[in-house]
A and B are shown apart, each in its own frame.
Chain A
Amino acid sequence: QVQLQESGPGLVKPSQTLSLTCTVSGASISSGDYYWSWIRQPPGKGLEWIGYIYYSGSTYYNPSLKSRVNILVDTSKNQFSLKLSSVTAADTAVYYCARGVGATAGRMDYWGQGTLVTVSS
């Protein structure tokens, strides 16, 4: 059974860096069979794909966030992480990690439960 679990601070101050980790169980990131994505959802709003990483460290970021986003992978811990810098209130959202499959790795078949991150002083 594949499971993903997000962890990290629930409150971040404006201008600081948001840092989250996704721990994967039931699947090996280093297998190279999947890509690993971050997606966010502001309260009461729709879904925005942030970017993904491959086990090798290769990444693709949404251009709308590219200047502030960094996604890293730690295959030894079977984890990948998200860093979003210079946050503002507009970055307040539930952040999800997910596994990407398919020809383009854009189909997300397993998701974490999500973690709410609030940006506030």
Chain B
Amino acid sequence: DIQMTQSPSSLSASVGDRVTITCRASQSIGRYLNWYQQKPGKAPKLLISDASSLQSGVPSRFSGSGSGTDFTLTISSLQPEDFVTYYCQQSDSSPFTFGPGTKVDIQ
């Protein structure tokens, strides 16, 4: 199985800050990397697919980059609704695997 890691596991920031979350795969996955946002008590929501493709309706402050084994999710200016948990997921090969998550807290 492809193992996914994320860093940091949590971070504290303020409204308006720029934050970056890193995701690393245990082997090359090309650009088959997706980012999800999960609010408490809700299902994950697909934000970015194929490393950098923003899903329809997702604010442009979210962006993704990377290929191979190293990927990043950047939020350019944190808004109050962004203080939740983010997961990366590889869709290169089954079984599809998720990172452990990054929780973004209000500082």
Contact = CB atoms under 8 A, between A and B. Distances in A.
Give the interface SS of chain B, mostly helix, strand, loop or mixed.
loop
A46 B98 contact: yes
Contacts of A113: 42-43
Interface residues of B, number: 25
B95 A64 contact: yes
A87 B98 CA distance: 23
Interface in B87-107: 87, 89-101
B90 A106 contact: yes
Interface string A54-70: 00000010111000000
Contact of B95 (A46, A62, A114): A62
Q: In the complex, which range does the number of interface residues on chain A fall in?
A: 20 to 34
B46 A106 contact: no
17 contacts: A46-B87, A46-B100, A46-B101, A47-B87, A48-B98, A49-B98, A60-B95, A64-B95, A96-B44, A102-B32, A103-B32, A108-B34, A108-B89, A109-B49, A112-B43, A113-B43, A114-B43
Interface of B: 1, 32, 34, 42-46, 49-50, 55, 87, 89-101
